[in-house]
Amino acid sequence: MQQLANVNALNAQALKPAVEIRGLSHVYAGRDGAVPALADIDLTVGAGRFVVIVGPSGCGKTSLLMMLAGLRAPSSGAILCDGRPIAQPDPSRVGVVFQEASLYPWLTAIENIEFPLALKHAPREERRQRAEAMLNLVGLAGFGSRYPHELSGGMKQRVSIARGLVQDPPVLLMDEPFAALDEQTRMTMGHELLRIWSQTAKTVVFITHSLTEAVYLADEVVVMSARPGRILDRVEIALPRPRTYQMMATDVFGRLRERIWGQIRTAP
């Protein structure tokens, strides 16, 4: 089983890259002059991989994700998604799930999921159909007519995931999507996310503060340093899939977690 996973990982690496970051640096204008936020980021994410980015607060993880989403332009360097540069948001290539539920409170769950399709003036029938399919995928069948405030935190993030996936983009970016959830819900959601991921074969770039979450979810954990953010280490997580909660208690899991923690703790 373990070997199988390793082989899978190797295969995945050989796959054509879904996301390529080349020589990316970012400097923003602060109060006291230029502040380097990201430096020399090179990262290639193979199609279908689950990559988690961890690092201390203010290491520019979120900036990096914004750039991957096309919401912010880097000072220098290039980002390719699906082989083509990302210059502006393109939800058919990159779906984004944000930290806190950024659902629109005046729309029902299903209308929220339809939102990106509505922006593209997709026909009503098609919109509803695809949104319903997404609702099923995230395990919320029957909750479509609820407004966000009628849903729990975990359910809201399910809707956010459905909205991110509704245009079937090859890449899904997630910015600490479960950070606001309680521990139990967070575990459940991590597990659910892996189920959805295995059903949809998306490439996921996931940002988190939780090392346990990182190791539990990832094929590979990218460790970043404090500002300016650099890549300190790339840790291959060779735990077999499907992942189980029991794995968290194993030595392998503990050692991986320890290795990442060591990097972050000693990070300059």
Partner 1 sequence: MTRPSPQTARRLIGLSLLVLWEAIPRLGILPELFVPPLTKTLHVLWLDRAIYGAALLVTVSEVAVAMLIACGVGILLGAVVGGVAGIRKLMLPVFSSLYAVPMVILYPVFTAWFGIGSESKIVFGGVYGLFPVLLSTAAGIRVIDEQYLLAARSMGASLPQLIGRVIVPAAIPTVLAGLRLGGALTIIGVVFAEMLTSANGIGYLVTKNRTTLDSPRVFAAITVILAMAIVYDVAMRFVERRTLIWQSAGRREAATADLPEMPASAAA
Contact residues: partner 1, CB under 8 A: 69-71, 88-91, 94, 96, 98-100, 102, 104-108, 115-116, 118-120, 139, 146-147, 149-155, 163, 184-185, 187-188, 191-192, 242-246
Closer to partner 1 by CB, 230 or 243: give it.
243
Compute the distance between CA of residue 254 and CA of residue 206 in angstroms, rounded to an integer.
Answer: 20
Compute the distance between CA of residue 170 and CA of residue 234 in angstroms, rounded to an integer.
Answer: 22
As measured in angstroms, the least distance from the Cβ of 230 to partner 1 is 25
Q: Which 3 state secondary structure label does DSSP give 118?
A: helix
Query: Residue 66: in which H helix or E strand, if any?
Result: helix 61-68
As measured in angstroms, the least distance from the Cβ of 78 to partner 1 is 20
As measured in angstroms, the least distance from the Cβ of 234 to partner 1 is 26
What are the φ/ψ torsions at residue 40 (nearest 5 degrees)? 50, 55
As measured in angstroms, the least distance from the Cβ of 127 to partner 1 is 13
In degrees to the nearest 10, what's the CA dihedral of 103, 137, 3, 45? -40
Closer to partner 1 by CB, 195 or 259: give it.
195
Closer to partner 1 by CB, 155 or 211: give it.
155
Closer to partner 1 by CB, 57 or 184: give it.
184
Please report which residue ranges of 101-165 form alpha helices under DSSP H: 109-119, 124-137, 153-165
The two structure tokens encoding residue 13: 């690496």
Closer to partner 1 by CB, 88 or 266: give it.
88
Measure the CA angle with vertex 147, ends 144 and 150; round to 5°. Answer: 105
DSSP 168-209: --SEEEEESTTTTS-HHHHHHHHHHHHHHHHHHT-EEEEE-S
As measured in angstroms, the least distance from the Cβ of 103 to partner 1 is 8
The two structure tokens encoding residue 137: 């995928």
As measured in angstroms, the least distance from the Cβ of 79 to partner 1 is 15
Closer to partner 1 by CB, 24 or 159: give it.
159
